[in-house]
Amino acid sequence: MTKENCIIHFLPARAGDCFVLEFDDKNCILIDGGYQITYREELKPLLQRLAEKGCKIVLMIITHIDEDHILGAISFLEDNGDADHPQIIQVDEIWHNGIFNTIMNSERFLRRKTENVPEKTVKEYKTICGILKAQLPGEAGLISAPQSKTFEEVCAKYHYKVNRGFDRRCVVKSKSCCFGNCEVQVLSPGMTELEKLGKILDRELIRTFGKDYLWKRTEEFGELLELMTLYQGADAPGNFTMRQISAGTGDIQKWLGTSNLAEMNEINCASIVVVIRYKGLKLLFMGDSESELWKEQLEPKYDLIKVSHHGSTKPNLAWMESTKARKLLISTNGGRHRHPEDEFLARVMMGDFEELYFNYDIQRKSAILAMQEKYHFRAEFQKREIVLDCVTGEG
């Protein structure tokens, strides 16, 4: 790169998210890792090319515990090996609100911690893990044995630096950190969202092991907790209804009102939301969060926004009413979740958004392309790189 710019590598991650932000100073930020297949086919080759150019990952953010965001990240760290002797690319720091470093540090769980867990209970951990693995409906297939380690466990095993500078080692709002010329500000979650996630896990543990359950930090228990969290996310209410099937393609105004406005679950609401500032650019990445939780912190305009939850309507309503962006990223292959929702697409096309980027050809591609001139926007599909000029924000 000769000019001062930022390249957004917009990787095809099926129903998930995976982004690499490459800055002209050779620093990069990795946001989510998609599925295992995302890593093998897309992320690993990209990281190898970046390393050959002398780049490094100054920050890796895993926004929340969901298989379409975290499984590829686990594969990457396993391949990359020790943080001090990386096999693929240098990673300076990781942000991730994991089970042990965040949720289990609350008083709710610390009073149940023990060093003496019966062998019978440990066997129960393994049995329940097997059941949960068999029931997870991931698009990339069942979680394989090598992937059963938790993300936290892999970070610890290979000595990666996690959540430095955060109180209680929790990545929470109002914190800003600098990485070279790049400033990263956290808009969400707050402790309230993390505590709600803790309540969900506590409820599941009581339901499974009884109200007097005790726990010890072991590999088996960590795997169980992460699988429980993944399972809760997989069971989130869908956003697809018969009302969407009947929505015609000719008049997108008829798409309004077709969403069932499904609420985000506690796992999605605990997503890490960040604003990244670099040489005049402002980029907003929101994981799968509910924007109603942090809309007061929004600025009037951003150069680029990665929309929430693959284009579901409900989590994106608040920010669409509060701010604008020239470029929007919508990460989804459609798949079994039928994302993005028609109502979301209608609101975006009729809103003041100039450029829409999709990493796949989605079902509504033809209708979207047909509406470009009428509603004064431009849409691109299967887009893999978006280049932003640091002075103008143009791409």
Highest mean pLDDT, choosing among 141-145, 188-192, 258-262: 188-192
Residue type, 173: K
Contact 12, 138 (CB under 8 A): no
Dihedral sign from CA coordinates of 345, 349, 351, 354: positive
Distances (CA, A) of 343 to 33, 44, 247, 374: 28, 35, 10, 17
Residue 129's pLDDT is what?
87
Residue 393 binned pLDDT confidence (cut-offs 50, 70, 90): low
Q: For residues 152 and 282, which has the higher predicted lDDT (pLDDT)?
A: 282
What's the mean pLDDT in 60-81? 94
Sheet containing strand 5-10, strands side by side: 94-96, 56-62, 27-31, 19-23, 5-10, 385-389
Phi, then psi, of 212 in degrees rounded to 5: -105, 25
Which has the closest alpha carbon to 356: 376, 338, 333, 336?
A: 376
Q: What does pTM read for this prediction?
A: 0.92
Distances (CA, A) of 18 to 23, 44, 249: 17, 12, 30
Residue 243 binned pLDDT confidence (cut-offs 50, 70, 90): very low
What's the mean pLDDT in 366-373? 96
**How big is the chain, counted in residues?**
395
Q: For residues 245 and 169, which has the higher predicted lDDT (pLDDT)?
A: 169
- Ramachandran region, residue 251 (left: φ > 0; alpha: ψ -120 to 50; beta: rest): beta
Residue 146's pLDDT is what?
39
Which of 106-120, 124-138, 229-243 is predicted least confidently?
229-243
Residue 343's pLDDT is what?
96
Residue 237's pLDDT is what?
40
Distances (CA, A) of 70 to 16, 255, 395: 9, 32, 29
Distance of alpha carbon 78 from alpha carbon 171, whole angstroms: 23
5-389 is a CATH 1.10.150 domain: no
What's the mean pLDDT in 84-110? 94
Q: Which two tokens stand for residue 89?
A: 């690319």
Distance of alpha carbon 366 from alpha carbon 376, whole angstroms: 16
Distance of alpha carbon 98 from alpha carbon 222, whole angstroms: 10
Distance of alpha carbon 79 from alpha carbon 129, whole angstroms: 24
Distance of alpha carbon 288 from alpha carbon 236, whole angstroms: 12
Residue percentage of the chain with pLDDT more than 90: 68
Average pLDDT, the chain: 89
Residue 296's pLDDT is what?
96
Give the count of alpha carbons within 13 A of 378, CB side only: 7
Q: Is the pLDDT of residue 244 over 50?
A: no
What's the mean pLDDT in 176-199? 95
User: What 3-state class would DSSP assign to 362?
Assistant: coil
Which of 56-65, 73-82, 158-167 is predicted least confidently?
158-167
What's the mean pLDDT in 146-153? 68
Residue 188's pLDDT is what?
98
Residue 138 binned pLDDT confidence (cut-offs 50, 70, 90): low
